[in-house]
Amino acid sequence: MSDPILVLAHIDETSQINIGAREALGFAQNLSENTGRPVECGLIGADNSSATAEVTELGATKVYTIEDSLLARFSGDNMVSAAAHIVSSSGARIVLIGRHPSTLEFIPRLSRRIDGTCVMNVTRIETINEQYTEIEAAVYGGAARALYQIDSTSPVVVGLRPAAAEAPTPHPENSSDIVELNLELLADRVRVITEATADEGPRLENAEIVVSGGRGLQNAENFALVRELANLLKGMPGASRAIVDEYWAPPTEQIGLTGTTVAPALYVAAGISGASQHMAGCSNARLIVAINSDPDAPIFKYADVGIIDDCLAVLPELIELLR
Amino acid sequence: MHILVAAKQVLDPDGINSYALWGRLEVSEDGLGFNTGATVPQIINAYDEQAMEAALQIAEVQEGTRVTAVTVGSDTAPDVLKRCYAMGAENTIHVHDDEKQSGNPFRISQILATVAKNLGDVDLILCGRQGSDYDQGAVPAILSEDLGMPFITMASQINFDEQTQSLHVDVVTPNGPETLACNLPAVVAVSNEIGQPRYPSSRRMIQSRRNPPTVFRADELLPGPATEKMSIKLLTVPEVQGNCEIIEGVDPKEKAKHLLQILRERGDLNV
């Protein structure tokens, strides 16, 4: 019964673990307290030394690391091979992976490679016994939950829903066994022709304040109001899927199930109705402020503070007051 | 080029969403569906329709391209094939499978892999990035493993580059757009950024009746007894607790003022 809970993370050129990996370590710790399984971590990247220290402080008792310069950028073929090697070395049957842009590729491919199973958007793990594991996932855009029953005899790769758990408190006194693994890597079958240059600036998923706009903005020009308010509040702008599909805002600013998930201290939703697909990306905000002219808009069910009025009338007033 | 498009039938997510928004979404007695009756129609998964659109865009440029659409599902599933045919698919394939199995992406992938192998000449498999029912998005990547093909997801534009005889795929990433390339055969999953799918032609809609899909049973295509390593046991609907403080004010200016006051008192503003 003491097979470990394994958290897997890709270490990019920042050499740090991302928010998803921290959440996965928190999820693993909760699971470890309930089941007595140790928490282990597998790191795959070009330089894992500082990340190794970080995950040790966050509760990993054993750290598997695979380092190669070819792994600095997420490469599906090599990531899957490396991760499969770590899973088989650890003997883990529960593998946790937190939010990361690559999960749509990484998790299902890995699960197939290790002849296991996978579940995405996982909210909690309900039961683990020798026969089966019961795992709950958010489905139907967050409107429902599905309880998956999984055969326990092979490993299950669990893709955690963003903010499924909080990052654990770091303990600098922790220590861990470090296992360096080697693997022969190959050039990925997918070649990069033009690479997106990672913006050095602040990232939406880490923003403390987010101001988001939806269809209530009426047209593309009015998204400038959202940008300006976000700017004045020293936050970042976000958008609903509906207006991204209309090209009022770029896909990088989309918040929701198929966009970015945010958990800011303050989330201002202007002219957003509150579809579950959108709320999946922001419901973990500490305070949600809704501005909507429809008093029956579902967003008011999720909001802590609401203004029932046209966002096109309220946003300019807020901007005026903050200038 | 022969393109295979995998499409799935789902309950209209907008319909499910409306029920959820008004707090009226209820799980049916068997625990695996909803009591929405005929008010929420079964439609083609929107991302899969976009995969179909991507295939037709390639066919417009690439002479001699054939598009085949396949679906795995029960009795109503062929409706999505009619739509694919009306959009421009030449051939359609229906793999009849028990609805209860639809939550097992490994089974669906195995079925699709067998279909692709049996066709023998498939160069490119296009799928939607995820189904709007279970939101797992697992089938396309598993399929690429089952078939040993390269995989690209979040595609917003797909071109075949004559010079290098390879596929060039624009993808959406959190850092902005990128262009990736791979050799064929490959599996590519399409996102909504591909653009609005074309409307099916009414002429082909009528013709689709005379061109029914080729039908297989899932157990004919699965190698030996199917692996049943996972299934959905139960759906539930989470409660949303409404507890919103509505800000009063005679006009937008006063409401805005009150809001900032509340946020400042809470310490949520640093400006």
Kindly state the tokens that stand for A46.
């070009």
Q: Does A294 touch chain B (CB under 8 A)?
A: no
pLDDT mean over B142-166:
96
Q: What CATH number is given for A5-180 in this structure?
A: 3.40.50.620
CA neighbours within 13 Å on the CB side: how many for A313? Answer: 12
Q: List, for residues A120-141, the tens digit of each pLDDT value.
A: 999 999 989 999 999 999 999 8
- Residue A301 vs residues B95, B219, B262: alpha-carbon distances, Å: 42, 46, 19
Length of chain B: 271
How does residue A202 score in pLDDT terms, banded at 50, 70 and 90?
confident
How does residue A154 score in pLDDT terms, banded at 50, 70 and 90?
very high
Q: Which residue of B has its CA nearest to A323?
A: B271
Burial class (CB in 10 A: 0-12, 13-18, 19+), A102: middle
Res. A151: pLDDT tops 70: yes
Res. B226: pLDDT tops 70: no
Residue B203: left (phi > 0), alpha (psi -120 to 50), or beta? alpha
The per-residue pLDDT for B270 is 74
Domain boundaries defined on chain A = 5-180, 204-322
Spell B240-269 as b/e; 16+ CB within 10 A means b.
Answer: beeebeebebeebbebbbebbebbeeeebb
Pick the closest to residue B236 from A125, A143, A135 (CA basis).
Answer: A143
Q: Which of residues 160-199 of A touch B (CB under 8 A)?
A: 189-199
Q: List, for residues B69-120, the tens digit of each pLDDT value.
A: 999 999 999 999 999 999 999 999 999 999 888 999 999 999 999 999 999 9
Residue A321: its chain B contacts at CB < 8 A?
A: 256-257, 260
Alpha-carbon span B172 to B177, nearest angstrom = 5
pLDDT mean over A170-175:
96
The domain over range A204-322 is classified in CATH as 3.40.50.1220: yes
How does residue B21 score in pLDDT terms, banded at 50, 70 and 90?
confident
Mean of pLDDT over chain B: 93
The C-alpha of A137 sits at a distance from chain B's nearest C-alpha, in angstroms, of 9
What count of other Cβ atoms lies within 10 Å of the Cβ of residue B174? 17
Kindly state the tokens that stand for B137.
């998005």
The per-residue pLDDT for B225 is 61
pLDDT mean over A289-296:
94
The C-alpha of B80 sits at a distance from chain A's nearest C-alpha, in angstroms, of 19
Q: Does A140 touch chain B (CB under 8 A)?
A: yes
For residue A54, the 8-state DSSP code is H
Q: List, for residues A237-261, the tens digit of each pLDDT value.
A: 999 999 999 999 998 899 998 888 8
Q: List, for residues A301-310, the tens digit of each pLDDT value.
A: 899 999 999 9
* Least confident range of A9-23, A161-175, B239-253: B239-253
Alpha-carbon span B119 to A52, nearest angstrom = 48
Alpha-carbon span B27 to A215, nearest angstrom = 30
Q: Does A322 touch chain B (CB under 8 A)?
A: yes
Q: Tell me which residue in B228, B244, B257 faces A305 most closely, judged by beta carbons.
A: B244
Res. B224: pLDDT tops 70: no
The answer to whether the CB atoms of B191 and A258 lie below 8 A apart is yes
Kindly state the tokens that stand for A290.
């809704």
Q: Does A118 touch chain B (CB under 8 A)?
A: yes
Q: Tell me which residue in A105, A232, A298 faces B153 most closely, judged by beta carbons.
A: A105
The per-residue pLDDT for B42 is 95
Res. B182: pLDDT tops 60: yes
Res. A4: pLDDT tops 70: yes
The per-residue pLDDT for B192 is 85
How does residue A200 score in pLDDT terms, banded at 50, 70 and 90?
low
The per-residue pLDDT for A286 is 87
The answer to whether the CB atoms of A143 and B145 lie below 8 A apart is no
* Residues of chain A above pLDDT 70, percent: 99
Residue A100: left (phi > 0), alpha (psi -120 to 50), or beta? beta
The answer to whether the CB atoms of A304 and B245 lie below 8 A apart is yes
